[in-house]
């Protein structure tokens, strides 16, 4: 009933954890190896996985579709090698497999900040559980997507895409490998847009990747091409793509004189509020802008909203981000806002809470020393 599928290359250090998490729920496990030179195949075989070989061709979708063609079950659960299925999800997974009216299920991805700790993390939603269906195939050399879009296929078949609480934990990239991953992704994105120019999703990914690699002018040019697709739809009530949110995030961080033609800060802020009111990175940038402009009360409101969303996990799960902007960083900046407004006691409570923070302890201590100095001055 369930085929759990992976593609892997030189993942011997991650794969055992991933396989161990799914062997109890899978009717078969398929690992497609795209050219490992380590013990990846040996690890996969030790867990009873069926190992298939696919020569790497600079196309993640081709490797995924090859893997789907090897599967024999009704349902597919897709994992990356650096992920694991949480044990608490097994019961819901079993129930989901009995559904007659669902074509696919979105699951929660917990993105850990560091591989050595299980918190903090942020959550995203992705479709990872779906029917083995010839109409469900991937496209895109990098960041594979369903083509045609999954919702269109579901509607045509009279089925639904269901939101589940099935959870995968993602251990993320080692910092030392980040640049090589970005460079590989940049190469694939460039090829994808050469093959199929103008795709909004891939323009945003490519532009942001170029900026991350320090290719600023080229990155801005690519993002300007993506932003040009916003101009005709600025008055629409809903966005045509969730990838607009990371585009807005990137553009809001730019100086006004570097923004694409026809785009202003005012437009970006309006779209952020109208289309993505619970996108934490956008709220964070708005809070920073208010703070820099001296609007400390407005910044305080936004930072409290971020902290509340972090506590209740009510943020938009369409994009990934550093959880510190809903945690320690938000609390530190809230303390600074309160201090600027003369709300010294409230600021002190914020900084005191941060004395247990590895990342922000020294800044919290410095601010508490400042508050002590202010009080001494007032008492003299």
Looking at residue 104, what is its pLDDT?
A: 98
Q: Which band of pLDDT confidence, cut at 50, 70 and 90, is reported for residue 153?
A: very high
348/370 Cα distance (integer angstroms): 10
Q: In what order do the strands lie in the sheet with 83-85?
A: 50-53, 28-33, 2-8, 75-78, 121-131, 102-112, 160-170, 83-85
Contact 120, 324 (CB under 8 A): yes
Say whether both 263 and 333 belong to one domain: no
Looking at residue 380, what is its pLDDT?
A: 67
Say whether both 248 and 262 belong to one domain: yes
Contact 313, 123 (CB under 8 A): yes
Say whether both 197 and 296 belong to one domain: no
Question: Which of 148, 172, 196 is the C-terminal boundary of a domain?
Answer: 172
Looking at residue 260, what is its pLDDT?
A: 96
Q: Which of 105, 122, 104 has its CA nearest to residue 113? A: 122
Say whether both 340 and 358 belong to one domain: yes
For 31-51, what is the mean pLDDT? 98
Instruction: Produce one character per residue of 56-93: b if its CB has 16 or more CB atoms within 10 Å, e if not.
Output: eeebbbbbbbbbbeebebebbbbbbbbbbbeeebeeeb
Say whether both 17 and 59 belong to one domain: yes
Question: Which of 217, 243, 276 is the C-terminal boundary of a domain?
Answer: 276
- Find all residues with CB under 8 Å of 293, minimum gap 6, and list them: none
Find the helix packing angle between 328-340 and 344-353, rounded to 10°: 160
- For the chain, how far is it from start to end, CA to CA, in angstroms? 77
Say whether both 305 and 366 belong to one domain: yes
For 13-27, what is the mean pLDDT? 97
90/96 Cα distance (integer angstroms): 10
Say whether both 42 and 151 belong to one domain: yes
Strands 50-53 and 75-78: unpaired
For 49-59, what is the mean pLDDT? 98
Say whether both 222 and 367 belong to one domain: no
Say whether both 56 and 118 belong to one domain: yes
Residue 239 sits at the vertex; the CA angle it makes with 234 and 243, to the nearest 5 degrees, is 110
Looking at residue 175, what is its pLDDT?
A: 55
Looking at residue 115, what is its pLDDT?
A: 61
| Phi, psi (deg, nearest 5) at residue 273 | -70, -35
Encode pLDDT of 78-88 as tens digits: 999 999 999 99
155/160 Cα distance (integer angstroms): 7
- The DSSP symbol for 147 reads S
pLDDT above 70 covers a percentage of the chain that reads 97
For 151-163, what is the mean pLDDT? 97
- Find all residues with CB under 8 Å of 333, minimum gap 6, and list them: 287, 288, 291, 299, 303
Contact 70, 28 (CB under 8 A): no
Question: Which of 138, 172, 206 is the C-terminal boundary of a domain?
Answer: 172
Q: Which band of pLDDT confidence, cut at 50, 70 and 90, is reported for residue 179?
A: confident
Contact 335, 347 (CB under 8 A): yes
- Find all residues with CB under 8 Å of 125, minimum gap 6, and list them: 106, 107, 108, 109, 163, 317, 318
Our count of domains for the chain comes to: 3
- Domain with residue 94: its CATH number is 3.90.550.10
Say whether both 23 and 155 belong to one domain: yes
Say whether both 45 and 157 belong to one domain: yes
Looking at residue 320, what is its pLDDT?
A: 85
- Domain with residue 346: its CATH number is 1.25.40.10
Encode pLDDT of 102-143 as tens digits: 999 999 999 987 666 777 889 999 999 999 999 999 999 999
Say whether both 40 and 155 belong to one domain: yes
pLDDT above 90 for 379 = no
Looking at residue 376, what is its pLDDT?
A: 85
Looking at residue 119, what is its pLDDT?
A: 75
For 27-52, what is the mean pLDDT? 98
For 244-254, what is the mean pLDDT? 96
Encode pLDDT of 262-318 as tens digits: 999 999 999 999 999 999 999 999 999 999 999 999 999 999 999 999 999 999 998
Q: Positive or negative CA dihedral for 191, 197, 203, 205? A: negative
Q: Which pair of tokens denotes residue 261?
A: 């033609």
32/22 Cα distance (integer angstroms): 16
Helix, strand or coil for residue 107?
strand
Q: Which band of pLDDT confidence, cut at 50, 70 and 90, is reported for residue 217?
A: very high
189/141 Cα distance (integer angstroms): 7
pLDDT above 70 for 222 = yes
Range of the domain at 180: 174-276
pLDDT above 90 for 176 = no
Q: Average per-residue pLDDT in the chain?
A: 95
């Amino acid at each position: 009933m369930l085929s759990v599928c992976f593609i892997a290359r030189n993942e011997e250090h991650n794969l055992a954890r991933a396989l161990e998490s799914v062997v109890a729920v899978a009717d078969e496990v398929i690992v497609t190896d795209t050219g490992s030179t380590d013990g990846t195949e040996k690890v996969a075989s030790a867990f009873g996985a069926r190992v298939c070989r696919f020569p790497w061709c600079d196309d993640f979708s081709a490797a995924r579709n090859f893997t789907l063609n090897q599967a024999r079950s009704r349902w597919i659960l897709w994992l990356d090698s650096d992920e694991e299925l949480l044990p608490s999800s097994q019961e819901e997974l079993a129930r989901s497999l009995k559904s007659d009216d669902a074509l696919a299920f979105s699951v929660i991805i917990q993105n850990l900040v560091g591989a050595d700790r299980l918190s903090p993390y942020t959550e995203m939603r992705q479709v990872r559980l779906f029917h083995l269906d010839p109409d469900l195939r991937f496209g895109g050399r990098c960041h594979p997507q369903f083509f045609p879009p999954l919702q269109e296929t579901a509607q045509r078949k009279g089925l639904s895409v269901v939101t589940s609480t099935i959870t995968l934990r993602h251990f993320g990239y080692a910092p030392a490998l980040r640049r090589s991953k970005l460079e590989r992704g940049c190469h694939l994105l460039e090829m994808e847009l050469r093959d199929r120019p103008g795709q909004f999703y891939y323009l945003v990914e490519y532009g942001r990747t170029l900026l991350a690699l320090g290719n600023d002018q080229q990155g801005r040019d690519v993002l300007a091409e993506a932003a040009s697709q916003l101009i005709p739809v600025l008055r629409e009530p809903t966005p045509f793509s969730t990838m607009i949110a990371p585009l807005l995030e990137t553009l809001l961080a730019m100086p006004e004189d570097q923004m694409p033609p026809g785009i202003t800060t005012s437009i970006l802020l309006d779209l952020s509020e109208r289309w993505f009111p619970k996108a934490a990175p956008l709220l964070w940038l708005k809070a920073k802008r208010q703070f820099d402009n001296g609007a400390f009360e407005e910044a305080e409101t936004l930072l409290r909203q971020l902290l509340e969303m972090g506590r209740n996990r009510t943020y938009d799960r369409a994009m990934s981000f550093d959880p510190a902007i809903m945690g320690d960083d938000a609390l530190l900046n809230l303390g600074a806002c309160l201090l600027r407004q003369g709300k010294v006691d409230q600021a002190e409570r914020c900084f005191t809470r941060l004395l247990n923070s590895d990342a922000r302890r020294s800044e919290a201590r410095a601010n508490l020393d400042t508050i002590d100095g202010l009080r001494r001055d007032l008492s003299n």
